[in-house]
Amino acid sequence: MLFLDQVSRLSTHLCGIQLVNPVIAASGTYGYGVEFATVADLNAMGGLVVKGLSREPIAGNPPPRLWEAEGGMINSIGLQNIGVRAFVDQKLPALRNLRTAIFANVFGYAPSDYAEVIRVLEDAEGIAGYELNVSCPNTKHGGIYFSSDPALLGDLVSLVRPLARRPLIVKLSPNVARIEPLAAAAEQAGADAISLVNTFVSLAIDPHTRRSRIGAGFGGLSGPAIKPIALRLVYEAAKAVRIPVIGLGGIRTGEDAAEFLVAGASAVQVGTANFWDPGAPGRIALELDEYLRQENIDNVRELVGTLQI
């Protein structure tokens, strides 16, 4: 548990949502949250983003799905999930008992998919906000990725914005030439915040079999190896928009989290670190508090956007 002075230093808000600290468990790395209840204090983190929810259940990609790369991890889970209706019935009731803010990650392969998932979640209680995973191909537009086309991204956010009474976060992909047009498109279409970065498209090869080490071929690289690039993209995105930015990419320690806040993030998400330390979000929050104490900073919000270049 956090002591009172720690709560004071770490307390913040995101899109009107009060958080006990700015450290959030990233989607796809913490299941539906309830699976971790016996190995970590779920109330020690500021928020939790459940794994991506789709209109119908998805079985995911063929194995192998994970490969430990130097300085990180490649994954290709294939967005496996039980579907939004099963989540509401089977997982959400237990999450309502937490003080941690619960965010639902939403994805689809056509705008109507996103809209339907949002409609189902709007009828459920216990969710603080939504995070749109736009790193999916739009099958209605020839497979163009929502995350790489500002116009498609803007259309998607404009469609779901009127359907959602809760805050809407758009999770951006780093697999683009420039992040600023995508960040601006999300903001102009009505997003309440953006989160970045999602994983980098990558390839691991077994030189003996001459095959990919990932069953689906390519995967997404995450972990410490991507942190310097993620910091740069967070900084650029924060300069391009006025809405809050949530930073993620290789965060392992409290000082890592502080770097993202200095770059312009209002909150951070922890992902890959959860695979070897399920208590990472709570631990990182405590380490961030210690950093604030050592730097004589009264509140974590004072760090945001203080980078000088």
Active site residues: 136
Phi, psi of 39 (to 5 degrees): -120, -5
Cα–Cα nearest to 164, from 127, 113, 124, 130? 130
DSSP secondary structure letters along 29-85: SSTTSGGGTTTS-GGGSSEEEPPPB-SS-B--PPSP-EEEETTEEEE-----B--HH
Three-state DSSP class for residue 276? helix
Cβ-based neighbour number of residue 77 at 10 Å: 17
Q: How far apart are CA 42 and CA 39, in angstroms?
A: 9
Residue showing tokens 């995967």: 219
CA 130 to chain CA mean position, Å = 10
